[in-house]
Amino acid sequence: MKLTGPLERVLRVLVADPAAQHYGYDLMKAARLPSGTLYPMLARLQQDGLVDSEWEEQRPDAGGRPPRKYYRLTAEGARVARLELARAPAARGPSRHVAGRPAHGMPGSAT
């Protein structure tokens, strides 16, 4: 996996709360990415088994809005993302405060 700038931003958003459900527009806003970059990236991550998706259950109180598709890191995805982010060069723009943080909880990081 080659950690590009946009990929790094998406992974940071996803890793910040690995249990959280994100839908596409949510990720676009949080990672400040256009849809043309985000969806192919998510598809690639999903193909590699790092991200999985599920459909929102239709609730009667949703006000008739269509169900959303939610994305979330898999366990493997969370592990790989932390590893990659920890390895990311510290000097990459304003997000350097996270890069200085030691990678936490990486069993079997020798892979």
| Residue ranges that bind other proteins, judged by CB under 8 A | 1, 23-26, 28, 34-40, 43-44, 47-50, 65-69, 80, 83-84, 87, 111
CB of 96 vs other proteins, minimal distance in Å: 21
CB of 78 vs other proteins, minimal distance in Å: 13
| 51 vs 78: CA distance, rounded Å | 9
Please identify, using beta-carbon distances, which residue of 47 and 94 lies nearer to other proteins. Answer: 47
CB of 101 vs other proteins, minimal distance in Å: 18
Please identify, using beta-carbon distances, which residue of 5 and 40 lies nearer to other proteins. Answer: 40
Which residues fall within 8 angstroms of residue 8, CB to CB, at 6 or more apart? 84, 85, 88, 92, 95
Answer whether 10's CB lies under 8 Å from 27's CB: yes
User: Which amino acid makes up residue 20?
Assistant: A
CB of 76 vs other proteins, minimal distance in Å: 9
Residue 12 has which token pair? Answer: 């940071």
Answer whether 102's CB lies under 8 Å from 86's CB: yes
Please identify, using beta-carbon distances, which residue of 17 and 48 lies nearer to other proteins. Answer: 48
